[in-house]
Structure 1
Amino acid sequence: MTSLRDSLRDLRRRSFTGRGHEVAVFRAALGTTGVLFVHGPGGVGKSTLLDAFAQVAPEAVRGDARHFGHAPETLPVPSAGPCPVLLLDTYELLEPVDDWIRDHYLPSMPDHCLVVIAGRQPPGPRWRADPAWRVLTRVVALGNLPDADGRAYLDTQDVPEALHERLLTISRGHPLTLSMIVDAVRRGTVPDTLDDLPDVVGALLGQVIDEAPTPRHRTALELCAQMPVTTEDVLRPVIGDDTGAVFAWLRARPFVDESPYGLHPHDVVRDALNADLRWRDPDRFAELYRRKLVAVRDRILATADERERVQLVVLAVVLNGRRSPHDALRSLPPAMGAYPDGLRDGDQDPIVAMTRRWQGEQQAGLCAYWMRKCPTAFRVFRDRRGDVRGFAARLDLTERDLGADPGADTLWGYASQHSPARPGERVRAWRFFLDAEHGQGPSPSLTLFVACQMLDIMLLDDDTAWTLVGAFEDVQRWTPVMTLLDFREAGAYTIGDTTYPVYAHDWRRAGFTAWVDRLHAQQFGAPARLADADDHDPVLSENDYTEAVRSALRDLHAPELLRSSPLTGTRLVRRQSTNGRPPTEALRELLGEAASSLTPDLHRLVERTFLQPVSTQERVAVELHLSFNTYRRHRDKAVTRMAAWLWDRETAASAYT
C-alpha cells in the first residue's frame, strides 16, 4: 500500500530538474571516504538536492539539524556497509558545535563513509586549515538554476511557455522564488516584477534572510540592497560609530558576496529587499535611493584611477539595468574584464575595419578623419589581453568643425538652433560607437560605452553647455532610454544606409542636481518630460543677462518678483543654492559679491541704492554729492560692471569652483 510519504516523494522527484553536475559529483564520490560540503543561501535548493542524492543512494541515512539537539546520541550514524552515506541538512544550526563535529563526530563514521553536509555557509577556516580535512572535503557552492533548468522546471509545472522568460527574469533562477511565483500564477496572478507579489516577498524574506538583530543591521541590509557595492565608508554616515561590527555581520550573511569593490547581495535577495521596503515604507525607500545616488557619485569621484572609476560605474549601470523596464538597459552584460583606454598606435586599422564592416565605407572614412583630427576624443575598449574590442568617440565640437561630417553638422546645428553655446562653453557630442563582434548589440563594449557616458555626466564641468548623443542606430530601442535619462529627441542624420537619431540635453537649463532629481522622480512614478519642457526657460545671452541683473537689483527686496528672475535658473545661482538654500537667497549673495568687486565709490552707491536702500535715488545722489545725471551714469556703470563680473563667472564658471 502506497503511503502519503511515497506520493509526496514521487511528486517531488518528478518536479526536480537540473543539478546534473552536483548529482554526478555525488555519484562519483560514492564508496569513498570524505565530505561533500554543499552550501548556498536559503531557498537555493539544498534540501531538494539532498532528496535527489537520497534517490541515488536509497540506503543513505538522513538527518536535519532542525530535528535534533546537539547531544551526541541525537545525531544520526549510518549503518556499516559497502557504501555508507550520511546526509546532514541545515548545518548552519550546528555551527556552535562545528569543532566537535569535525574533530569527534565525523571521525567516528564507518570506513568509506561519504558524508554530505548542506548549510548556508561554506566550511569555516578550521576546515581549510586542517591538511587532512582539506584533502577529504569537496566544497560545492550551489547557485541559482541556469535558464535551461529553469525552463525545464516550468515545463514540469505546466506553466505556459509565453510566461517562461518573464518568470525567470523575476526569479533570477532562484528555485524557491520561482516555485512561489508559479504558485501565484496558478492562483491567477501574473506578475511583472516582485513588487506585484508582496505576500511572496514577505515569505521569501522569511526563508532567505536571517532576522536582523537590530534596526541598524536592517538598515545596512536595505542600503546594501540599493548600492552596487557596499563598503564601510558607505555605511558610516547611516550606521554611525558601530559601522565595523555591522559591516562584519553583513559580510557573514550567506546571501552576500564579496568583490574587489565591496559587498553585494545575491540578485534575488536584492530584489526582494527592495520590493519589500518599497511596499512597506515607500518614503524610506525613496530616502535610501537618494542616499544611494549621492554615495555612488561620491565614491566614484573619490577614486583617482580612471579604470577603477569606470568599473564602479559599470557595476551601477549593470545593476540598475537589470531592474529597468527597457530591454536596451536590461540586456547590458558585465564588462567581463574589458576596460576603456586611449587611442594607441596600431588601433586605427582595426577601428576603421570594424566600422567599415558594420556601418559602411562612408562612416569608416569619417571615423578615420576624426581619429586624425582629434585622437584624444576616442575611447578604445580593450579585452583582458589589451586587444581592441570596440570603441567610442566624444567630440568637443566647434563651428570650425563644420562641413566635413554630416553627423557633426547635425549635432552642432541642433545646439546652435535651440540655444547656441556662449563664449567659453562647450558642445560635447558622442559621435561613434561599435563593438567588433556585436556591432551595437549587447556586449561588454556597449556596457562600457553607457558607463563612459554616465561618468562623463558625473564629471561635467560648468562650462559644458550641451551633451548630444548621435552614436546609436536603433531609434526604437534607445529613444525610451534617452528620454528616461532626460535627453530629448533632436533630429537625426544619415550616413550611407544608416540613420542615426540624435538626443540632446542642455546643462544650462537643467544641471547635474536637477538631472538627478528628475531621474529620482521618474524612479518613483513621475512621467517623463515633454521634449520642449525647458524651451520656456531660455539660456540668457550676455545682453539678456545684463538686463536680468538690472531687474534683479530693482526687485531685490520684493521676494515675489525676485523669484521670477531668470537668474534663479542660471548655473551660477544653482551652484550657490546648496543644502536646500532658496535660489533667491543665493542670488542676493552673488549680487553682494559682485558689488564688493567694485571700486569703493561705486560699491557705496550700489549699497545705498540697491543692497540696503535708505531713500529715493534722488536723495542718494544728494547724499553722495552728485548731480542726478552724474549719479545715473555711475549707477549704470556699476550695474554693467556687476553684470560683467557675474557673466564672466557664469560662462567660465569652472575656473572659479
Structure 2
Amino acid sequence: MLLIDAFERVQGLEGWLRERFLPKLPVGALVVMAGRVPPDMMWTADLGWAEALRVMPLRDLGPADAAALLEARGVADELRAPLLAFAGGHPLALSLGAAVVTKDREASSRWTPAQDVVATLLDQLVGEVPSPAHRHALEVCAHAYVTTEDLLREVLPEDAAALFAWLRRLPFVESSPRGLFPHDVVREVLEADLRWRDPRGYADMHRRINACLADRIRDAGDADVLGAVGSLFYLHRGVGSTAQFHSWRGDGEVYEDAFRPQDAEALVRMAAEVENDESAAAVAFWTGRQPEAFRLYRRTETGELVGFCSWLRLYEPSQEESAADPITATAWANARAIAPLRPGEHLAVGRTWVHEEYRGMSPVMDLIQWRAVGYCLRADRMAWSFMAMRSDDPMRDYLRHYDMHDIGEHAWLGGTEYALFAHDWRAAPVPAWLDRLDRLLLAGPHQEPAAAGGPPLAVLSREEFADAVRTALRHLARPAKLAASPLTRTRVVTEHPSPTPPRP
C-alpha cells in the first residue's frame, strides 16, 4: 500500500504520477491519495484509470459519531452541545475543541472557541490566501447564507467575477442552486476571526450585505421572496433564539404552493385537526373571502399538505367578518384602542396551521416565517401586523425578539386562547426594524445593543396632525418649541429632512 497525504501540496505531480509512476507499480498495489483538491478530469477520461479509480469524498461525522468522538475524548455532557454547535461533524475541529475544553476548568455550556483555537483552524482549513481581496471574498461567503457573483459585487465591486471564480474552486466551498457556501466550521472560524480582528470591518461588511438583501426583498418577484428573506435572516442566525427556530437544513424538503379553490376542503379539515371546529369555520370563511391570503406547504416527495398560513389584509371593520372570526375582531379592537388606522391604511392578521411534528424548528416553519416577514417588509401602507399565537406555541417568546409584542386583548376561538403579537409599522417602520436587528447582531450575544438613532415615530390622526401644524406655525420663531413638536417624530419629517440652511 502507498499512502500519499496532503496531495494538494504536490498537485503539480499529478500528471507524472498518472502517466509514469503509478503504471510501474506491481499488480495488486493499493494507492491512496488524500487531498483537498479533487482529481482532474484526465483520470476519468482515460478508460483504464476510470475502471481502477475510486473517488471517495470525506464528509463530516454524523451526529451520533460526532457525539461519540467527544465522549471518547472525555468531554463533559454540558460542554458537548456548544462544541457540536461550533464544529459540527468536522473531526479536526471537534478534536481541537475537545482538547481545549477538557483542560479548561471554567468552560461552561456557553463555551465559544478562543482565538488560539480559531487561528489554528484557520491555518489548517483555509491556509494562506492570495490577497486581501481574496480574504474579503471569503469573509463575505462566510457571512452570507449563499454567495452569488452579484452579491459579491455589492461588497467588493472590483474583480467580483474573478473572486467568485476563485471561491468556487476552493475545496471547502460547495455549490447549490442558489450560490456558493462554505463548510460549516470554516464559516464559523472566518466569522469569529473577523469579528475579533476587525469589528468595524465586520460591521461594514454586514451592513452592505444586509442592505443588498433588503433591496432584493422589496424588488423580488413573489416566487423569490422566500429565498431573499431566508438569506436576510441567516445574517442574524446568532442573535437571541433565532437559531432555535430556524432549521436551515430542509432546503427542498418542503415547498410553498398557491391556494386553489379545490384546496379549501383540505385546509378546513387540517384546521379542525390541529386546532378546533371554530378555527376550521374561520378558515372556510376566509378561503372564500380572501383566497389570495393563503399559502400552502407540501412535502416535496409526496405533495402531502403539512401546513398552511394566511395573511389577511383588512381595511375597515366588518360585522360579518368579526362574527365569523373573533381573532380579526380582537385585532380591530386592539388597533382602535392603541393607535387607530388612518385613511388608506390597513392592518394584517397572520395565522399558522401545521401538523404537530412540524411545529417549532422545521423546514415548514422556516418558509412560514419567511413568508410572514416578506409580507411585512413589502406591504404598502400597513399600519399594524398581528400574529395570532396559541398559549402553547413555542414561538411566543421568539416573536418578542423581533419587536412583535403581546399587547391588548386576547382572542378566543372555541375553547382556545390566542395572543395577538403586534407591531405598529408607522411607529417603527421597516428601516428602523431592520436597524434594530443590526444593532442586536453587532452588539454581540452577551452585550446590550447600541441605542437607536432616536425615539419611536409619532403616529398622529388627521386631527392631531392638523393641530400640531397649527401649533408649529405659532412657534416658528421659537426653535426650542419647534424641536419639541410631535411633527419632528413623524415620517413626513424623518424620511424627508430639510437641507442644512446655508451660513449667512
Equivalent residue in structure 1 for 2:400, among 467, 483, 487: 483
User: More deviation in 143-152 or 359-368?
Assistant: 359-368
Contact 1:468 1:502 in 2 (8 A): yes
1:268-417 equivalent positions in 2, closer than 5 A: 268-304=185-221, 306-317=222-233, 320-321=236-237, 324-326=240-242, 328-331=244-247, 333-384=249-300, 385-397=302-314, 398-400=316-318, 401-417=321-337
Name the SS of the counterpart of 1:470 in structure 2. strand
Partner of 2:486: 566
1:373-522 equivalent positions in 2, closer than 5 A: 373-384=289-300, 385-397=302-314, 398-400=316-318, 401-430=321-350, 432-436=351-355, 438=357, 440-461=359-380, 463-471=381-389, 473-474=391-392, 477-491=394-408, 492-522=410-440
Equivalent residue in structure 1 for 2:96, among 159, 175, 180: 180
Name the SS of the counterpart of 2:54 in structure 1. strand
Cα RMSD (Å) of the superposition? Answer: 2.7
Contact 2:348 2:384 in 1 (8 A): yes
Q: Take 1:161 and 1:466, find their aligned partners in 2: how far apart are those partners? A: 45
The alignment status of 1:138 with 2:32, answered yes or no, reads no
Equivalent residue in structure 1 for 2:65, among 143, 149, 161: 149
Residues 497/154 of structure 1: CA separation in 2 closer, same or farther (3 Å cut): farther
Residues 552/264 of structure 1: CA separation in 2 closer, same or farther (3 Å cut): farther
Contact 1:484 1:528 in 2 (8 A): no
Q: Take 1:317 and 1:175, find their aligned partners in 2: how far apart are those partners? A: 28
1:67-121: CA deviations, max 9, x gaps? xxxxxxxxxxxxxxxxxx2221101112122222222222222212222211112
Give the counterpart letter for 1:272 in structure 2: V
The share of aligned pairs that are identical, in percent, is 36
Residues 216/148 of structure 1: CA separation in 2 closer, same or farther (3 Å cut): same
Partner of 1:200: 117
Partner of 1:233: 150
In structure 2, stretches of 5+ residues that fail to align are none
Equivalent residue in structure 2 for 1:539, among 451, 456, 459: 459
Q: Take 1:163 and 1:364, find their aligned partners in 2: how far apart are those partners? A: 45
1:27-57: CA deviations, max 9, x gaps? xxxxxxxxxxxxxxxxxxxxxxxxxxxxxxx
Q: Take 2:435 and 2:76, find their aligned partners in 1: how far apart are those partners? A: 41
Instruction: Give the C-alpha shift of residue 459 in structure 1.
Output: 1.4
Contact 1:212 1:218 in 2 (8 A): yes
Residues 547/206 of structure 1: CA separation in 2 closer, same or farther (3 Å cut): same
Q: Take 1:139 and 1:556, find their aligned partners in 2: how far apart are those partners? A: 79
Q: Take 1:125 and 1:365, find their aligned partners in 2: how far apart are those partners? A: 61
Q: Take 2:388 and 2:47, find their aligned partners in 1: how far apart are those partners? A: 60
Instruction: Give the C-alpha shift of residue 496 in structure 1.
Output: 3.5
Partner of 1:43: none
Instruction: Give the C-alpha shift of residue 427 in structure 1.
Output: 0.2
Residues 249/326 of structure 1: CA separation in 2 closer, same or farther (3 Å cut): closer
Please, what TM-score do these two structures have when normalized by structure 1?
Answer: 0.69
Q: Take 1:424 and 1:406, find their aligned partners in 2: how far apart are those partners? A: 24
1:319-357: CA deviations, max 9, x gaps? 744665456425464243422222113312222222222
Name the SS of the counterpart of 1:289 in structure 2. helix
Residues 501/107 of structure 1: CA separation in 2 closer, same or farther (3 Å cut): farther
Please, what TM-score do these two structures have when normalized by structure 2?
Answer: 0.89
Q: Take 1:258 and 1:568, find their aligned partners in 2: how far apart are those partners? A: 49
Residues 191/555 of structure 1: CA separation in 2 closer, same or farther (3 Å cut): farther
Count of residue pairs the alignment pairs up: 490
Q: Take 1:326 and 1:260, find their aligned partners in 2: how far apart are those partners? A: 24
Instruction: Give the C-alpha shift of residue 158 in structure 1.
Output: 2.1
Give the counterpart letter for 2:5 in structure 1: D
Name the SS of the counterpart of 1:442 in structure 2. coil
Contact 1:235 1:243 in 2 (8 A): yes
Instruction: Give the C-alpha shift of residue 450 in structure 1.
Output: 0.6
Q: Take 2:77 and 2:26, find their aligned partners in 1: how far apart are those partners? A: 48
Partner of 2:169: 252
1:458-483: CA deviations, max 9, x gaps? 3132x1111111145535x3233212
Give the counterpart letter for 1:519 in structure 2: L
Name the SS of the counterpart of 1:113 in structure 2. coil
Partner of 1:8: none
The alignment status of 1:112 with 2:3, answered yes or no, reads no
User: More deviation in 153-162 or 308-317?
Assistant: 308-317
User: More deviation in 373-382 or 318-327?
Assistant: 318-327
The alignment status of 1:550 with 2:470, answered yes or no, reads yes
Contact 1:225 1:270 in 2 (8 A): yes
Contact 2:194 2:202 in 1 (8 A): yes
Contact 1:86 1:116 in 2 (8 A): yes
Name the SS of the counterpart of 1:427 in structure 2. strand
1:52-131 equivalent positions in 2, closer than 5 A: 85-131=1-47
1:202-230: CA deviations, max 9, x gaps? 11111111212111111111111111111
Q: Take 1:131 and 1:558, find their aligned partners in 2: how far apart are those partners? A: 89
Partner of 1:266: 183
Contact 1:144 1:173 in 2 (8 A): yes
Q: Take 2:200 and 2:130, find their aligned partners in 1: how far apart are those partners? A: 23
Partner of 1:604: none
Name the SS of the counterpart of 1:278 in structure 2. helix
Instruction: Give the C-alpha shift of residue 584 in structure 1.
Output: 4.7
Q: Take 2:58 and 2:395, find their aligned partners in 1: how far apart are those partners? A: 37
Q: Take 1:137 and 1:303, find their aligned partners in 2: how far apart are those partners? A: 46
Residues 160/241 of structure 1: CA separation in 2 closer, same or farther (3 Å cut): closer
Residues 392/376 of structure 1: CA separation in 2 closer, same or farther (3 Å cut): same
Give the counterpart letter for 1:565 in structure 2: S
Name the SS of the counterpart of 1:438 in structure 2. helix
Equivalent residue in structure 2 for 1:171, among 76, 81, 87: 87
Residues 97/556 of structure 1: CA separation in 2 closer, same or farther (3 Å cut): farther
